[in-house]
Each structure stands twice: as C-alpha cells, then as structure tokens.
C-alpha cells in the first residue's frame, strides 16, 4: 500500500444511503484488521444536498483523513462533477451504468441488473466495493446477515443474493482496482467514533444522568446513552432547552448522581449562567462541548476549534474550571472518564472540548480495559457527620479549597447548596471578609487542578528546528504533516495539548523556547490557543497556521503551508 | 413531627407584614402534619424574595438561578425518588423568567410540588410589573399602566391538564396548609399558586384585596371535571376561587422509570459486565 493508504469516498444526496454503505464497509474493514479514519462531510438537511462519507484505510496506523480520492462511489451525477478533479492518479469512479463518468476512469455498474429493486442498490454497491478492494467475503456476508437479521430470513436471503451477484459481477472488473494488501491489525476491535467513545467513557466513570437538547454535532453522545446506556442504569432526559439541561444536571449531582451535558456552541452559550452556578454552588458537572463553526448558526454540520475562549471564559464571576481536549478516540474515552474524576474531586465544572470532525470520525479501537482505569472520586454518602436536622458546613473553608460534600437523604444532616455568596453552611451572606474567604477558597481549587494537569504529548524529532503546537483533534493531521516534512529532510516535532486549561508552563515552556521556530496550528481564525499560551507564559509563537473554512485539517493541506 | 424541627428564623430579608412569613408558617405546619423529616425533603428555589425560603427553614436546600428552580427540582426527583421535592419561588421566577420550564414541568409530570408565591409584582427588584400584574396597573416601570395581558397560570395549567392545580392565600393558613399537604401527597406535578401580598410594592393587590375576594370552592366541586375547572380558572374578579381546581391521575415520569425502582441513582455501582458487553456490540 502507498504510504498514505487508500481513500474511499462515497458521495451522494442525503437519504440515498451513503452512510449505510460507508458504515458497513468501515465495519468490514475493521473486522478484517485494517486501520481506518472516517470523515463525514454533510449538509444541514434531511434529504438532498451533497454529502460524502470518506474512509481512509491502511494496513499500518493512520491518524488523519486524506484528500486525494482513490475510489469514489458516486451515487449521483453531481458527485462525479464535484469530485472528478480530486481523484488520485490511479483513482477510479464506481457509478451506475446510466451515469456519465465525465472522462474519469470509471467502473460503470449495471445496478438495475445486479439489484432487482432500488432498495438493494446499497448492498450491491457494497458487494462491488468489497470485491474490488479484496475484502474478506465471509466477513462481509456476516455483516449483511447481522444488519438485516431483524427483518427476517427472507430479507436476509434477498440481500445475500444481491451481495453475491454484485461480488461476481465485480470479479470480472477486478483489474480496474488493486486489492488492498493483507491487513495487519488485531481482530476484535470496536468501530467507534468520538461521541460514542465519550459516552463509553462517561459510562465507565459511572454517569447516571444526562440532560440534553439536541444539537449537531453533540446529539449522538446523548443518543448513545439513550440507546445503549439505559440498560446500564442511566436516566437521560431531553430538556426543554439547554438552560434546563445544565440546571437539571446540577440537580442530579446534588443527589450524588454523576451527570453529563452534551451540547455545541449555540446551546452552550445558553448554559453559561448555569456554568457560573456550578462554580459558586461547587457542583460537579461534565460538559461536552462539540464545536462547530459559528458565529450563531454558522456552518452547522462542519468543524472548527473556535469555542476555546467560550469554554474558558463562560460564566460570570471568577471560579476554577478544567478543559480537556481529546485528540483521538481513545482520548475521548479516557479524558471523559478523567473529567468525571476531576469534577467530583474539585466540585467545579469540567469540559470535554471536541469538534464535529472527531465526534463523527470512526476508527478501529481496541476495547477499553475497564480494570486498568483509576477510581473516580465520589461524594460522601456516609450517614455520619454534621448536626442532625441542621445544616452542616457544605462550604467549609479548607486549605485545598475542597469542602466535604455530603448527599441529601443519605444522612440526617442537611445540605444547603446555594447560588449567592454564602456562609460555610450555605446561607446568604454579604459579609466582606467571608466573601473574600469563600472566593479565595474556590480559587484554591484551581491550584489543585493545575497540579494534576495533563502534560502535552510530544512526538517527532527531539530538539526540532520546527515545533508544531496543536490542541484537540488537530493532532493526527499535524503529526502526519510532520512525517511528510521530515521526509523532505526537515527537523520537525509536534507538541499536542489534550488539556488546554489549566496549563502548567513548567511542563512545556522549555521545549517551546528551545525550538528554532514554533508554529501553532488551530482550527480558528484568531489563534485562540496561541494567545492563551502567550497570556500564561509570555511566550509568543513564531506564527500561527489557521483554518476556519469549516473543513478538516489534512496532512497535505498542512504540509503545503508549512513548506 | 414536631414543628420546631424545621427551625424558626426571625431574621429574614422579608418586610414586616409580607405574606411570605405566613407561607413559611404554613409550610412548616404542612410538613409536620405529614411527618416529613427535614432530611427527607429537598427544597428548591430560584431567585426573588420568595426564593430565599430555603435559607429560612431547616430542610435540604438547593437555591438555584432566577427562573431555573424547576429543572434541578425535577432532576433531583429523577435521581433520588426517595426525596420529597418542593420548589418555592415567585410569579416572576416561575411565570416570567422560567416560563418555558413551567410549561415543560407540567408536561413532564415529575412527582413534586411547586409553590408559587404570587404577589402580582416584582418585589426584590422594587416594583416592576410581573406576568400576573393586571392590565392597566400603574407601576414604576410601567407609568402608563401595564399594556401586556396578564398570564393566567391556573388556566394554562388546567388547559395543559397539569396533574394537580390548586390556588390558595397566605392569609388563610388552614386552607394553605391543606393545599400544600394535598399537593405533596399527590403523585405527580402539583402546582399551588398562592397569593402572598407584597406590602411594599403592590398597593393594589393588598392583603385586604385578596381577603375580600378569595372564596373556597364549594364542597361538591369536582376537581376531576376538566371543563368545570376551565371555567373556574377564568374567574379572577370580585370573586377568586381557591381550593383544588383540577387534578388527574396521570402516572408521574419518575414512577415510569424502572431504574428508579432500585433506589437513588447516585449509589448505583458501575455495571462493568454490562459495559464490557456493550463494548462488544461495537466490534
């Protein structure tokens, strides 16, 4: 396989079934032992428009989507017209024999002959793709059986026949497309995207309550918990709005139930007063903020990293918070798990800041080892402590700033959670000295958070001439761009931040200062993280490389601009 | 339960003569009568003068944001069904800032009680019109008289078939105690809109004004008759009916969630075997 692997793109209108074909092919590839990076590009509509589902497949680990298309499955003419110039040198187009290949190297499939009815055309396309790429046939058959099993033997049989006919038809055309090399990855891996991994991480941490208002690209976090988490004892409530969602979550954590609120920028903007409430009430809550381009409705189904400042500064007043920014699907799981521990431990809001690209990007992931996970902090469910039927010191002034958090109903003492400045018992106060003491106490928790902050991941050349700084989902494309640059003889390192707040300069400032050139790569227009670095360390990056057209970073796009 | 167990707070931020003092007395009596231990109750509020209630009674308390008392109150019940959940706040908090939550709570029908201290004015912000201020009433912020038609919480709640709708008056303690107790005992979302006059900023809807108008519904009134309740809900003039105006026995949301049969969610362990099986479903 070439060093970039093979890029398979399925294009068509919403409602034509391109996601179904894409997901089934992805699963077949993962089951066979290939590595994949899926990127989904769709428009904000239910039917029509132009969408693509891209699978970059490789026999070795990969971390980013590719640009050039090696196999384009065109479900309509528009797909051919839009993408014919994006085909790689050996790229082919698989399309219905009735469509115009527009001068491309095409494999016209007589879908009408292969599939007796249009409803079977997706499986026919899958058969052709599987055959041309040399996917293990029993794997594909097993998948078709699983997918249609619920609909009964007759439907399974019909689909199996279509798969068989399509496979046979394509065998005659195999010369047009080189088969994939043998897979090398392990079997038994999950096909998982970022939001699914976040839901699993939350379940592993013991999430019990999720309140949400649907918003792309965050909805699938809640949907996973509804579809699969309910069996594990999670209550998921679709709230009337995002304001209700976050305030419900604070009610949930008051009872000791771990709570999650998934949203995107516009919905999160509505939650900001609730974030402030969590700050003063010292209520745990994990907020998953899946970014998409703004302002306002922006490009609702595309990707961006422009809500860092929003997460950093949301909520009036001053209180500590932590912001974790996963770069990989594994990060989505582990950092969500870690977010629950941090929010329980420090009783202050913790964010998982992700984006549309990572939310929707399927990869092959080894099932997580639950026994290897560190324990997650809990409130004090014990019955003892505190005066009977009187308020205990919910906001006791302590050295660490963390006060004992008891749970109403589990004890005879009373728990008063409050939104004002308050006494140690939670009662309203306007006393100036107490105000200072309480504010200082809350801010001391920020020091505890800083002491635990996750250092950036550093890879590539040691002491590089060029150090690429990135955060969140850009890591994969940036790391692969570094490989391309090193192939041209350059000395390149990568520093990837998976926690963007708080920062501990001792963990990374020496490396920044040692590099000849530092370029900060971000999916926004103003270099928000570069500014944050300067604010916190005084260090100014040599330059920023920014993308804010709603499209995903690719190694090629980056390498071209990094020369 | 001895009423003393809920404490008595002489120092409050409420004006002398404010209806809220009487409401708190009625709440204590109602809880004592139902034998509810202070630690078995979660008392939730928003912001406003009435919303300071959690600070003036010994119960578990959650004093949240303006207009946002209902969302945490419902979540508390959905996470720990063993707690009795009572929310208190004013007309501005529930019908203005929190209007959407009020409508959603009626539809969601979680087993909890909402006590709305309705004084038809904004007290804490010093005298602006509230959603229930009558049309034409002159206030500091509406010097030409209120132009908006008033919100009728009873009519809205009955129209939406809210599972329990009552009205009462802080000046009639026995009645108010009874309404609070019936609301708490009702298995579903229970609204008690209770008049609690503001002595500082509402010179129209005074104690005397309510006293003259509030009349208990006749003994033979049937609160399960929805059409009759819609009629009663329109009455707001020389006579204002008080009592249980409407109720039904629609099952509450919390009662329909099997996971809650196992007790409070917070204490339920992570189902690791279930999670391992779940991960297998992605392979």
Is the Cβ–Cβ distance between A304 and A522 less than 8 Å? no
Instruction: Indicate yes or no: CB of B101 within 8 angstroms of CB of A409.
Output: no
Return the axis-axis angle of helices A475-487 and A555-562, rounded to nearest 10°: 50
Q: In sequence order, which residues have a C-beta less than 8 Å from that of residue A10 and are 6 or more positions away? A: A18, A21, A22, A25, A52, A53, A54, A72, A73, A75, A125
Question: Which residues of chain A fall below pLDDT 50?
Answer: 1
Question: Which residues of chain B fall below pLDDT 70?
Answer: none
DSSP codes, A344-366: HHHTSEEEEEEEHHHHH--EEEP
Q: Give the model's pLDDT for residue A2.
A: 53
CATH number of the domain at A6-176, please?
3.40.920.10
Q: Give the model's pLDDT for residue A174.
A: 80
Tokens (6 digits) for B276: 């391992």
Q: Give the model's pLDDT for residue A1.
A: 46
Is the Cβ–Cβ distance between A357 and A39 less than 8 Å? yes
Interface of B with A in 83-102 (CB under 8 A): 83, 100-101
CB pairs below 8 Å between A and B: how many? 206
DSSP codes, A438-504: HHHHHHHHHHHHHHTPPPPEEEESSS-SEEEEEEGGGHHHHHHHHHHHHHTT--EEEEEESEEES--
Instruction: Indicate yes or no: CB of A419 within 8 angstroms of CB of B65.
Output: yes
Question: Do the two domains A6-176 and A457-562 of this chain adopt the same fold?
Answer: no
Q: In sequence order, which residues have a C-beta less than 8 Å from that of residue B124 and are 6 or more positions away? A: B47, B48, B49
Tokens (6 digits) for A552: 């995903």
Interface of A with B in 239-268 (CB under 8 A): 239-241, 243-245, 247-252, 254-259
Which of B5, B71, B278 is most worth mutating to test chain A (most A CB atoms within 10 A of its CB)?
B71
Q: In sequence order, which residues have a C-beta less than 8 Å from that of residue A306 and are 6 or more positions away? A: A265, A291, A293, A294, A523, A524, A525, A526, A528, A548
The C-alpha of A357 sits at a distance from chain B's nearest C-alpha, in angstroms, of 20
Q: Give the model's pLDDT for residue B231.
A: 98
Interface of B with A in 247-266 (CB under 8 A): 257, 259-260, 262, 264-266
Flag whether residue B10 sits within 8 Å of chain A, measured between CB atoms: no
Q: Give the model's pLDDT for residue A337.
A: 98
SS3 for A127? helix
Chain A residues with CB under 8 Å of B269 CB are 206
Instruction: Indicate yes or no: CB of B79 within 8 angstroms of CB of A257.
Output: yes
Chain B residues with CB under 8 Å of A413 CB are 39
Find the angle CA(A459)-CA(A463)-CA(A468) to the nearest 5 degrees: 50
Please provide residue B237's backbone torsions phi and psi, each rounded to the nearest 5 degrees: -150, -125
A258-263 β-sheet, strand order: A235-238, A207-212, A258-263, A285-291, A349-355, A322-324, A499-501
Flag whether residue B283 sits within 8 Å of chain A, measured between CB atoms: yes
Domain ranges of chain A: 6-176, 197-366, 380-441, 457-562
Helix (H) / strand (E) element for A336: namely helix A329-346
Bridge partners of residue A7, in order along the sequence: A56
Is the Cβ–Cβ distance between B238 and B209 less than 8 Å? no
CA-derived radius of gyration, chain B: 20
Instruction: Indicate yes or no: CB of A252 within 8 angstroms of CB of B265.
Output: yes
Give the global pTM. Answer: 0.97
Q: Give the model's pLDDT for residue B273.
A: 96
Instruction: Indicate yes or no: CB of A251 within 8 angstroms of CB of B76.
Output: yes
What is the set of domains in chain B, with CATH numbers?
A: 3-280 (3.40.50.970)
CATH number of the domain at A197-366, please?
3.40.50.970
Rounded Cα distance, A280 and B43, in Å? 18
SS3 for A270? helix
Return the axis-axis angle of helices A242-254 and A265-281, rounded to nearest 10°: 30
Q: Give the model's pLDDT for residue B260.
A: 95
Is the Cβ–Cβ distance between A217 and A265 less than 8 Å? no
Bridge partners of residue B68, in order along the sequence: none
Burial environment of residue A118 by CB neighbours within 10 A (0 to 12, 13 to 18, 19 or more): exposed
A457-562 under CATH 3.40.50.300, yes or no: no
Instruction: Indicate yes or no: CB of B270 within 8 angstroms of CB of A204.
Output: yes
Interface of B with A in 26-65 (CB under 8 A): 37-40, 42, 44, 47, 52, 54-55, 58-65
Rounded Cα distance, A7 and A72, in Å? 8
Interface of A with B in 370-399 (CB under 8 A): 370, 379, 381, 389-391
Nearest alpha carbon to residue B58 among B20, B14, B5, B22:
B5
Rounded Cα distance, A9 and A32, in Å? 19
């Amino acid at each position: 396989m070439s060093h970039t692997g093979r890029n398979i793109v399925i294009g068509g209108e919403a409602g034509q079934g391109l996601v179904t074909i894409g997901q089934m092919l992805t699963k077949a590839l993962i089951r066979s032992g290939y590595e994949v990076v899926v990127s989904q590009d769709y428009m904000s509509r239910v039917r029509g428009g132009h969408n693509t589902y891209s699978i970059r497949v490789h026999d070795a680990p990969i971390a980013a989507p590719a640009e050039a298309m090696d196999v384009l499955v065109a479900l309509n003419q528009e797909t051919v017209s839009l993408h014919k110039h994006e085909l790689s040198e050996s790229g082919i187009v698989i399309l219905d024999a009735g469509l115009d290949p527009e001068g491309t190297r095409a494999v016209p499939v007589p879908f009408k002959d292969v599939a007796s009815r249009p409803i079977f055309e997706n499986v026919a396309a899958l058969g052709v793709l599987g055959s041309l790429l040399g996917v293990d046939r029993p794997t594909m058959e097993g998948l078709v059986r699983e997918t249609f099993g619920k609909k009964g033997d007759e439907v399974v049989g019909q689909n199996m026949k279509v798969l068989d006919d399509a496979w046979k038809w394509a065998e005659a055309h195999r010369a047009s497309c080189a088969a994939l090399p043998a897979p090398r990855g392990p079997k038994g891996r999950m096909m998982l995207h970022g939001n699914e991994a976040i839901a699993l991480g939350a379940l592993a941490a013991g999430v019990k309550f999720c309140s949400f208002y649907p918003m792309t690209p965050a909805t699938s976090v809640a949907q996973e918990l509804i579809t699969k988490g309910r069996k594990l004892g999670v209550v998921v409530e679709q709230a009337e709005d995002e304001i209700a969602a976050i305030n419900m979550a604070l009610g949930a954590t008051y009872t000791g139930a771990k709570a999650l609120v998934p949203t995107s920028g516009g919905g999160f903007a509505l939650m900001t007063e609730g974030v402030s409430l969590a700050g003063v009430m010292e209520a745990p809550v994990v907020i998953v903020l899946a970014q998409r381009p703004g302002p306002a409705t922006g490009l609702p189904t595309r990707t961006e990293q422009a809500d860092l400042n929003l997460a950093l500064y949301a909520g009036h007043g001053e209180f500590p918070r932590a912001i974790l920014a996963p770069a990989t699907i594994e990060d989505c799981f582990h950092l969500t798990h870690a977010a629950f521990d941090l929010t329980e431990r420090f009783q202050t809001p913790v964010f998982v800041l992700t984006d549309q690209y990572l939310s929707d990007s399927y990869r092959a992931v080894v099932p997580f080892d639950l026994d290897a996970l560190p324990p997650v902090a809990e409130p004090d469910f014990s019955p003892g402590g505190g005066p009977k039927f009187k308020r205990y010191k919910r906001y006791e002034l302590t050295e660490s700033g963390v006060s004992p958090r008891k749970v109403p109903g589990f004890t005879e003492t009373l728990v008063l959670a409050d939104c004002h400045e308050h006494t140690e018992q939670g009662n309203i106060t306007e006393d100036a000295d107490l105000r200072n003491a309480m504010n200082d106490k809350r801010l001391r928790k920020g020091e505890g958070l800083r002491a635990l902050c996750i250092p950036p991941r550093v890879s590539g050349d040691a002491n590089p001439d060029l150090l690429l700084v990135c955060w969140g989902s850009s890591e994969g494309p940036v790391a692969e761009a570094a490989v391309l640059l090193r192939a041209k003889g350059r000395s390149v390192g990568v520093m990837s931040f998976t926690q963007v707040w708080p920062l501990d300069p001792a963990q990374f400032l020496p490396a920044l200062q040692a590099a000849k050139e530092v370029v900060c790569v971000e999916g926004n227009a103003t270099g928000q993280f570069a500014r944050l670095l300067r604010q916190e360390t005084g260090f100014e990056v040599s330059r920023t490389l920014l993308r804010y057209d709603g499209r995903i970073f690719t190694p090629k796009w980056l390498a071209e601009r990094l020369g | 339960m001895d009423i003393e167990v809920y404490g008595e707070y002489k120092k409050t931020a409420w004006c002398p003569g404010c209806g809220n003092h009487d409401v708190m007395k009625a709440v204590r009596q109602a809880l004592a009568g139902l034998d509810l231990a202070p630690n078995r109750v979660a008392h939730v509020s928003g912001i406003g003068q009435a919303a300071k209630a959690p600070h003036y009674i010994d119960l578990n308390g959650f004093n949240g944001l303006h207009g946002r008392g209902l969302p945490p109150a419902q979540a508390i019940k959905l996470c720990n069904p063993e707690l009795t959940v009572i929310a208190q706040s004013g007309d501005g908090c529930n019908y203005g800032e929190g209007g959407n939550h009020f409508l959603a709570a009626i539809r969601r029908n979680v087993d909890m009680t909402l006590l709305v201290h309705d004084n038809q004015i904004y007290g804490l912000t010093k005298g602006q019109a509230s959603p229930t201020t009558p049309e034409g009433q002159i206030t500091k912020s509406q010097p030409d008289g209120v132009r908006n038609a008033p919100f009728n919480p009873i009519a809205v709640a009955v129209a939406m078939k809210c599972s329990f709708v009552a009205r009462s008056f802080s000046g009639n303690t026995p009645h108010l105690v009874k309404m609070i107790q019936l609301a708490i005992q009702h298995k579903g979302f229970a609204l008690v809109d209770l008049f609690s006059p503001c002595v500082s900023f509402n010179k129209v809807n005074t104690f005397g004004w309510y006293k003259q108008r509030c009349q208990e519904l006749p003994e033979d009134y049937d609160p399960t008759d929805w059409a009759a309740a819609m009629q009663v809900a329109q009455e707001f003039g020389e006579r204002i009916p008080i009592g249980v105006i409407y109720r039904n026995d629609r099952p509450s949301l919390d009662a329909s969630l099997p996971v809650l049969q196992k007790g409070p969610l917070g204490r339920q362990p992570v189902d690791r075997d279930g999670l391992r099986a779940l991960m297998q479903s992605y392979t």
